[in-house]
Amino acid sequence: MRRLMPSMPRRLTSGLFNTTQVVGGSPGLAVLTTLAASRTGRLLADGTPPLSATAGGYRPAFTVVTGIAATALALAALVLRERRG
């Protein structure tokens, strides 16, 4: 992180990085939780047993997270390859 912001003081860079990590994950978690709760509610309304509805509610959230992680991995590999080459 220090290499990205060489002119900033070390403490400020560290604080900015930590804050970004903490605050950045919160909206994502909120969206995934809302997605899972919404899907679970629809399944329960359709008469699905609670355990199956809960598992079915988590499925779209995990699918979205898997897609995001795969995209991040591909971008990281692309960026690292460009820096080496």
Q: Is the pLDDT of residue 34 over 80?
A: yes
Start-to-end Cα distance in the chain? 21
pTM above 0.85, yes or no: no
Residue 6 inside a domain? The answer is no
- For 53-76, write each residue's pLDDT tens digit: 999 999 999 999 999 999 999 999
What is the C-alpha separation between 32 and 37, in angstroms, rounded? 9
Q: Where are the alpha helices (DSSP H) in the chain?
A: 10-45, 50-84
Residue 16 inside a domain? The answer is no
Instruction: Determine the structural domain holding residue 64 and report its residue range.
Output: 26-84
Residue 9 inside a domain? The answer is no
- Once rounded to an integer, what is the mean pLDDT over residues 19-35? 88
- Once rounded to an integer, what is the mean pLDDT over residues 9-18? 78
DSSP code of residue 8: S
pLDDT tier, 33 (very low <50, low <70, confident <90, very high otherwise): very high
Residue 20 inside a domain? The answer is no
- Per the structure, the count of domains in the chain is 1
